[in-house]
A = this chain, B = another copy of it.
């Protein structure tokens, strides 16, 4: 019995850094990845030439990148990734995640992959349009601390919206706890932000955290939309990237999604393993439909490096378009997957806004949490100061 395997020949590329002691070992390791991520079978035992030719990954390029590190470009058949994000991620980095000394640095979209993923529904342009804010960074904060009641959080949300914050999100630790039930919190906070919007004429968005049990994610998201929430907060590290994609692709929701990095940090922590910051916080978030990606800005309490943050910006904004098209080269007006907002966070303060805007430019979302509460009781006043500082920063 032989198969009638006949694939399209279309392949997409993944870029790895591989630790190796020399070009021979680098080539052997790259070749091992080609097998590991596809057939996971000893090469001599592959039963059909068609499988060896059509299924196994191919080394498209292999270069020394640094002392003891090689950069390998491996091309995988489109069909191996199927139509599913889980399997695409499996091909990119499933089993090799268990091997030391291999890091996924980047990947590209072939035309077939590009067609399978809708990507961000809003992205930078769509979210600006929705908020009517075109010139300055977007302003974001969280309602917290955990332990406040739904009524107290709603009061907070109301005052933050009055103060002119664009996006008011749940703290990512607010789930469905007995002391603060999801349904009541979301109803109250959405109502509070709507009330503030009626008073200000602005259109602040409330984004509840819909990370939750597998069978309740969609219900929570739809309850949020019904209550008037203007977006969703989601932690793909806790509940899965494809869960986020399912929310992003749901036309009956059609809400902007802010991705939170909880539990994802370890995936990027070793420079010799895991995923590059670009892939983890940028490319995968976009592929899974996030419109903005939260990550720790350098110099905060999370100690990311400046280079990591630059890499994240590239992942949020680099061209994601079919290879070889005008859009891949970033041509204006050409169609690719929308760029999304980088959201530097992690103990950011009002006195760092200038520095943040110098680094990220205007197309970022500034997330300031605790520090809005550190300047006395006039919360709305602190919010106005936040906005003034952001506006001033772009006019420098």
Contact = CB atoms under 8 A, between A and B. Distances in A.
Contacts of A82: 175-178
| Copies of this protein in the complex | 2
A194 interface: no
Given A83-B176, A152-B3, A238-B90, A147 B39 contact: yes
A145 interface: yes
Nearest to A92: B263
Contacts of A275: 266
A79 B145 contact: no
A269 B242 CA distance: 24
Interface string A181-212: 00000000000000000000000000000011
B79 A179 contact: yes
Contact of A267 (B39, B94, B261, B266): B266
A332 interface: no
Interface in A363-385: 369-370, 373-374
Given A3-B148, A214-B243, A235 B90 contact: yes
A312 to B, nearest CB: 12
Interface stretch (A96-104, A222-230, A251-259, A321-329): A96-104
B39 A94 contact: no
Interface string A229-265: 0000001011110110110000000000000011111
Contact of A172 (B48, B94, B346, B369): B94
Contacts of A172: 40, 90, 94-95
A149 to B, nearest CB: 4
Nearest to A240: B240
A206 to B, nearest CB: 18
A89 interface: yes
A93 interface: yes
Interface stretch (A49-57, A63-71, A118-126, A350-358): A49-57
A46 interface: yes
Contacts of A42: 370, 373-374
A7 B179 CA distance: 8
Nearest to A36: B301
A359 interface: no
Contacts of A83: 176
B90 A175 contact: yes
A237 B97 contact: yes
A155 interface: yes
A9 interface: no
Contacts of A1: 151-152, 155
Nearest to A260: B94
B50 A147 contact: yes
A151 B258 CA distance: 44
A5 B179 contact: yes
Given A47-B145, A82-B176, A303-B100, A266 B270 contact: yes
Contacts of A315: none
Nearest to A238: B86
A4 interface: yes
A32 interface: yes
16 contacts: A3-B152, A3-B179, A32-B301, A39-B144, A39-B147, A51-B146, A84-B212, A86-B239, A95-B262, A98-B302, A213-B246, A214-B240, A239-B240, A266-B270, A269-B274, A270-B273
Given A80-B177, A97-B237, A98-B296, 4 more contacts: A38-B173, A48-B147, A239-B240, A269-B270
Closest 5 CB pairs of A and B: A98-B265, A240-B240, A51-B147, A266-B274, A97-B265
